[in-house]
Amino acid sequence: MPMFVDTSPPGHCIFCKIVAGDIPAAKVYEDDLTVAFMDIGQVNPGHVLVASKRHAVTVINLTPEEAAAVMQTAQRVAAAAQRAFDPDGITLFQANGEAGGQTVFHFHMHVLPRHENDGVALAWPRKEPAVHLLQGYAQQLQQALQEQTAAPTV
């Protein structure tokens, strides 16, 4: 079964319409930078999406303030889900890009209450590369971080 992919332009995507109040949503929480609402594809009771209010496609497109606000809202919603649904655990899930599993191209994070044997599988094949490869990967990331820090802000 094909997965729904929303590639609408900024301001016209389904989440932008929820933020604008143009379409209904079962909102859970809202502040200046984020909105939290029930996922219409509930995996388990209490499955909530936390989205940035401003249209940003991926985590890379968020401002530092928006990224912090989304995580703070996710923490707040997770604590509420723990009280309301008493799950065995909670999974926070965030996908970027089609290859990463993103289906709505407006930044959002899933807050998913979990229960033993709920059928949700989030496993991937472990590759366990040699230590020298891990060190090389770390150096590549360190270099990219240095370049990012040195780059002028736009």
**Which of 47, 55, 106, 108 is labelled catalytic?**
108
Catalytic residue status for 106: no
Q: Are 25 and 104 in contact (CB under 8 A)?
A: no
The DSSP secondary-structure symbol of 6 reads B
The answer for 124, left when phi > 0, alpha when psi is -120 to 50, beta otherwise, is: beta
Percent helix, strand and coil across the chain, each to the nearest 5: 35, 20, 45
**Cα–Cα distance measured from residue 35 to residue 105, given in angstroms and rounded to the nearest whole number:** 16
**Cα–Cα distance measured from residue 78 to residue 89, given in angstroms and rounded to the nearest whole number:** 10
Provide Rg for the chain, Cα atoms: 18
Catalytic residue IDs: 108
